[in-house]
Structure 1
Amino acid sequence: MPGFTEISPNNLMRLIGGPTAPLIVDVSIDDDFDADPHLVPTAFRHPHTDLDRLTTLAQNRSVVVICQKGLKLSHGVAATLRARGIAAQILEGGNYGWRDAGLPRVPAQAMPDLAQGNTRWVTRHRPKIDRIACPWLIRRFVDPQAEFLFVPPSAVEAVAERFNATPFDIEGGEWSHNGPLCTFDTMIDRFGLAHEPLNRVAVVVRAADTDTPDLSPQAAGLLAISVGLSRLHKDDTTQLNAGLAIYDALYRWARDGFDEGHDWPAKK
């Protein structure tokens, strides 16, 4: 059982994927991390010696601190943050405890290069489904500070090169469709994020994005909402921000509401 300053892997996993998830910081030393280079979803690496900058980053946030085994480094950093007025816990068992619980881990090698401390992505403008679902996935499970650029299709590759951005959902690209699978599926696979609720969301996204509604009864609703959002918002970034709430709700449905129905008045 975790102590009062600790959070268990399973309880932390229930927080990840939502808009109020804690800031997750990995303070493992390089040698430990290099021995098993994976991250808890949304975690970012930060040296345990730079506590002043971490204090600034953690303002007005709850924090979970991780080291490789959940011992001295994470306890020391979390205690320092608490002494500075920040709500901080450690992950029980650290990265090894998370791994042993069989929870999703992001391979460090899958992470694109950082642009000013965050990842930057670029895709075609006027998004509908995949190009909203994928940014949601990245923001909620990979990099909460990720930037997304929407440009004309002919400009995607040039913008990617000039602005150190990773292109996605473009034909023939590395982060794109793969046979019957859509870009959302590709990202789940590459980032090691597969787990039952997210897999359930992926089926809905794939069905709506690839015009295969027989895969999921929810696909028609997602398509209708996505088309409606694109008509409501002329600005792609505004549309993205509005769309995040749609996928937050879809993920919560997939996690613990997928078997719930609704019938009113109740059948007699």
Structure 2
Amino acid sequence: MACAWLIRRFIDPDARFIWLASPGDCPSDALGFDFDGARFSHVGHRVSFETLIESFAVQQPGLARLAGVIHYLDVGGYQPSEASGIERVLAGLRESIGDDDQLTMVAGGIFDGLLTAFASEEAQNG
């Protein structure tokens, strides 16, 4: 969900997503992300979200903090204080919304709100 949001928000607002049952189903002309063998996936210690940020040089206030939360939710490590609440909200969305496109849209609102809050805190704290 987070990678799809990042792509639409900062990389390609017209991106179309194909939700795959298996990575082997990825069309040869598609740019895959977040699965083994995808062009944009985990690289070293970075998760796919961070790989996309670095690959496309996305710079936005609050985004590094959001990336820290996404990193934790994906692979663990340092736990940002807000991570458990965000994890519960996203889990609830996954359970209650069966359509992947709708889920991505609704989760996008959560990520927009988090980014705005994190950017505001950065601006206040200098």
Whether TM-score is above 0.5 comes out as yes
TM-score normalised to structure 2 length:
0.87
Partner SS, residue 149 of structure 1: coil
User: 2:108 maps to what in 1?
Assistant: 244
- Counterpart-to-counterpart distance in 1, 2:36 and 2:86: 23
- Matching of residue 181 in structure 1 with residue 46 in structure 2: yes
Q: Is the 8 A contact 1:169 1:183 kept in 2?
A: yes
Task: Write the distance in 2 (CA, Å) between the matches of 1:179 and 1:219.
Answer: 22
Q: How far is the alpha carbon of 1:259 from its aligned partner?
A: 8.5
Structure 2 residue corresponding to 1:150, chosen from 13, 16, 19:
19
Superimposed CA distance per residue, residues 18-61 of structure 1 (whole angstroms, 9 cap, x where no aligned partner): xxxxxxxxxxxxxxxxxxxxxxxxxxxxxxxxxxxxxxxxxxxx
Name the SS for the 1:167 alignment partner: coil
Amino acid at match of 2:26: V
Kindly state the Cα deviation for residue 211 of structure 1 after the two structures are TM-superposed: 2.5
Name the counterpart of 2:26: 159
TM superposition score normalised by structure 1: 0.43
Aligned-residue CA RMSD in angstroms?
1.9
Match of 2:87 among 223, 230, 235: 223
Q: Write the distance in 1 (CA, Å) between the matches of 2:109 and 2:61.
A: 20
Q: Does 1:133 align with 2:2?
A: yes
* d(CA) in 2 for partners of 1:137, 1:220: 21
Report the 3-state secondary structure (helix = DSSP H, G, I; strand = E; otherwise coil) of the residue aligned with 2:17: strand
Q: Are the aligned partners of 1:197 and 1:254 in contact in 2 as well (CA < 8 Å)? A: yes
> Which residue identity is paired with 1:185?
E
User: Unaligned regions of 5+ residues in structure 1, if any?
Assistant: 1-131, 261-268
1:1-268 alignment, distance < 5 Å: 132-153=1-22, 156-161=23-28, 164-212=29-77, 214-257=78-121
In terms of fraction of residues, the more helix-rich structure is 2
Q: Deviations 1:127-146 (Å, cap 9, x if unpaired)?
A: xxxxx111111111111111
- SS of residue matched to 2:26: helix
How far off its partner does 1:225 sit? Answer: 1.2
**1:249 maps to amino acid:** G
Moved over 6 A (4+): none
CA contact (8 A) 1:157 1:167 kept: no
Question: More strand by proportion, 1 or 2?
Answer: 1
Aligned residues: 124
Alpha-carbon distance in 1 for matches of 2:56, 2:27: 20
The aligned amino acid for 1:204 is V
Partner secondary structure for residue 166 of structure 1: coil
Report percent identity of matched pairs: 30
